[in-house]
Amino acid sequence: MMILSNILLPLLFAIVTAMLRKQITALKWSALIFAVALVVLNGIIIDKVSQFDYLVVQVGNWEFPHGITLAVDRLSAVMLFISSTIVLFVIIYSWHTMTTEYFKNYYLTFVFALLMGVNGAFTTSDLFNLYVWYEVMIMSSFVLITLGNTKEQLTGAVKYVTMNILSSLFFLAGIGLLYAKTGTLNMADLAQKLTLSQDAALINSTAILFFIGFGIKSAIFPLFFWLPASYHTPPLPITALFSGLLTKVGVYSLLRFLSIIYIHDKLFWQVFLLTIAGLTMVIGVLTAASQYEIRRILSFHIVSQIGYMILGLALFTPLGIAAAIYYMLHNIVAKTNAFLVAGLIEHQTGTFHLKKLGNLFKTRPWLALFFAIPALGLAGFPPFSGFIGKLSVIQASIESQQYIIMTVAVIVSFFTLFSMIKIWMEGFWKENQETDESILGKPKLHFSSVLPVAFMGIITIAMGLMAQPLFEFLLKASNQLLDMDGYYNALKSPL
């Protein structure tokens, strides 16, 4: 019941916010209450999941494995929680930063529709159903990215839309071939059938189609070009929302799907994924280093950070996958936070360009503090969350004796630090006489735009300081993800 309401409530909220669009104040407050309700609901789901391991709903009471099965395990639960939290923060941040035009043009409606797609993708264990949730998600994101109708947005949107449609077509073709080969679409049933089958490695040719589909979504190395070309075009709350949710759904699907396929041809997948992970990390961070626009630096960083998650998956040990999940959570919070701080910088100075920025440390020391927390978190300094993330990824690669990729991961984190320092030096420390601040004066900053930034900063620190209980939970989650028999039995005969 709770799982279904996780999908149905955002739908209801989308409809209600669409009806309220003329009364802006009522609209904002109701959206805030809705988002809080979802966070509470997902908190309860995490609690339930740590008691019962799996929450399962057979939609329409079809017998397993014929119908659509919705199942929440620890990994899904924690992803659901973090995504609804991000939506809450983004809604608070949008309060005064988004213009009334956006609220009138169904901005919040599509935020909730996007959340519905994301929740569905995290919940379902049926591959075709996953495709449908992907479509719900990308359709809402298409609307959000084009909502302002500026020339820049439309240019970015053409690339974004094309690549995302192609990715779901690859995914769909994969579903067709997979069904032809195995006769099932349920992931638990698929895992069971592959374990019993003799030539399970033959599934690889199909799995690559899935890999390309999910790979475009999660922006891994040769497929990421749409991301930095489009993410900086919409208004900042939308960029922050996308950076927190969309690519991570791709990574989540890779984790879920490849955990079924991986064991049947371990040699191939390990080498393949390690190569992809290394290249994603290096290319992402090097291209970020050459940029001078804050949002574009951060966009390229998303790509680089995805590499760490793929690395955790490639190792395919319980520790590796737990590290990947931790890294994903850390990245969702810290990256969204960094984007929101970039928005504050733009609000104060009127520009995202590092060359035009300067003196911020002197004139606005609190802004420097806000930026320092996610920046140090992303670069991986203790006690912030990024440190634990990087440490566990590196520890997992030492444990699996993958020393080359470990070296790459360490070097890449230095480069990450380099580009964070670059934003710091150029934006905060540089003496710049030519900043046109005199024109702008000092724009008044609303409490609503500072609150989410401060909260996410606290989360970043808390995730680093209280890493142990969280990491223990994630270790359980990764063991659960690897335990295919348990997954099958839980879905077949739910409690």
Binding region for other proteins (CB under 8 A): 128, 131-132, 135, 139, 142, 146, 149-152, 154-159, 161-162, 165-166, 169, 172-173, 175-177, 179-180, 185, 228-230, 232-233, 290-293, 296
Nearer to other proteins, 178 or 220 (CB): 178
Nearer to other proteins, 156 or 389 (CB): 156
How near is the Cβ of 144 to other proteins at its closest, in Å?
Answer: 12
Nearer to other proteins, 230 or 337 (CB): 230
- CA 139 vs. chain centroid, Å, equals 17
- How many Cβ atoms from other residues are within 10 Å of residue 368's Cβ? 18
Nearer to other proteins, 135 or 483 (CB): 135
By three-state DSSP, how is residue 69 classified? strand
How near is the Cβ of 55 to other proteins at its closest, in Å?
Answer: 25
User: Tokens 């295919």 belong to which residue?
Assistant: 484
Nearer to other proteins, 22 or 151 (CB): 151
**Amino acid symbol at 274:** L
Tokens representing 100 are 């009334």
How near is the Cβ of 309 to other proteins at its closest, in Å?
Answer: 25
- How many Cβ atoms from other residues are within 10 Å of residue 455's Cβ? 16
Nearer to other proteins, 185 or 258 (CB): 185
d(CA 309, CA 304): 10
DSSP element (H, E) containing 50:
helix 24-52
- How many Cβ atoms from other residues are within 10 Å of residue 196's Cβ? 7
How near is the Cβ of 128 to other proteins at its closest, in Å?
Answer: 6
Nearer to other proteins, 146 or 259 (CB): 146
Angle at 33 between CA 29 and CA 37, to 5 degrees: 170
CA atoms within 13 A on the CB side of 58: 13
Cβ-Cβ contacts under 8 Å for 335 (sequence gap 6 or more): 243, 244, 298, 301, 302, 305, 374, 378
Cβ 307 vs Cβ 197: under 8 Å: no
Closest by Cα among 305, 219, 309, 206 to 265? 206
Nearer to other proteins, 291 or 385 (CB): 291
Nearer to other proteins, 132 or 462 (CB): 132
d(CA 29, CA 161): 31
Please, is 142 exposed, middle or buried when counting C-beta atoms within 10 Å of its C-beta (0-12, 13-18, 19+)? middle
Tokens representing 206 are 């199909």
Pure H helices in 124-203 = 127-146, 151-182, 187-196
Query: What is the chain's Cα-based Rg?
Result: 22
CA atoms within 13 A on the CB side of 154: 4
Nearer to other proteins, 296 or 476 (CB): 296
How near is the Cβ of 141 to other proteins at its closest, in Å?
Answer: 11
How near is the Cβ of 155 to other proteins at its closest, in Å?
Answer: 5
How near is the Cβ of 69 to other proteins at its closest, in Å?
Answer: 15
How near is the Cβ of 7 to other proteins at its closest, in Å?
Answer: 17
Nearer to other proteins, 93 or 352 (CB): 352
Tokens representing 422 are 């670059």
Bridge partners for 124 per DSSP:
70
By three-state DSSP, how is residue 290 classified? coil
How near is the Cβ of 156 to other proteins at its closest, in Å?
Answer: 5
How near is the Cβ of 180 to other proteins at its closest, in Å?
Answer: 4
How near is the Cβ of 187 to other proteins at its closest, in Å?
Answer: 16
